[in-house]
A = this chain, B = another copy of it.
Amino acid sequence: MADETCFDTLIHAPNRLQICAMLATAAEIEFKVLRDHLDVSDSVLSKHIKVLQEAGYVVLIKRSDFGRQRSWLSLSSGGRKAYTGHVNELKRIVGEV
């Protein structure tokens, strides 16, 4: 495969890798849904999201559904590229590719 491989320490932190993996499967995921799937607290998830946001990997949009304010998270194209590259590098390390 001609995919890029690149180890990314920012993504490698356990919770962040899982955040990216989850976000990669959908267009957008709500903050609370992501929190429940990862089984972490609000504050822990917020902290990681902030780091990923600052790196430009994750985009946060607030929208209202039926008067309820919700925070939606999605992977930016840069974030998706970095995540894919990181997973490919992990695969290379375990000798899979």
Min C-beta distance of A71 to chain B, whole Å: 12
* Interface residues of A, count at CB 8 A: 2
**In the complex, what distance in Å separates the CA atom of A36 from the CA atom of B71?**
14
**Chain B residues whose C-beta falls within 8 Å of the C-beta of A32 in the assembled complex:** 32, 36
Interface residues of A in 14-73 (CB under 8 A from B): 32, 36
**Chain B residues whose C-beta falls within 8 Å of the C-beta of A36 in the assembled complex:** 32
Contact flags A58-96 to B (C-beta < 8 A → 1, else 0): 000000000000000000000000000000000000000
Task: Name the residue of chain B whose CB is nearest to the CB of A36.
Answer: B32
Min C-beta distance of A72 to chain B, whole Å: 16
Q: Lowest 2 CB-CB distances: which A-B pairs, in order?
A: A32-B36, A32-B32
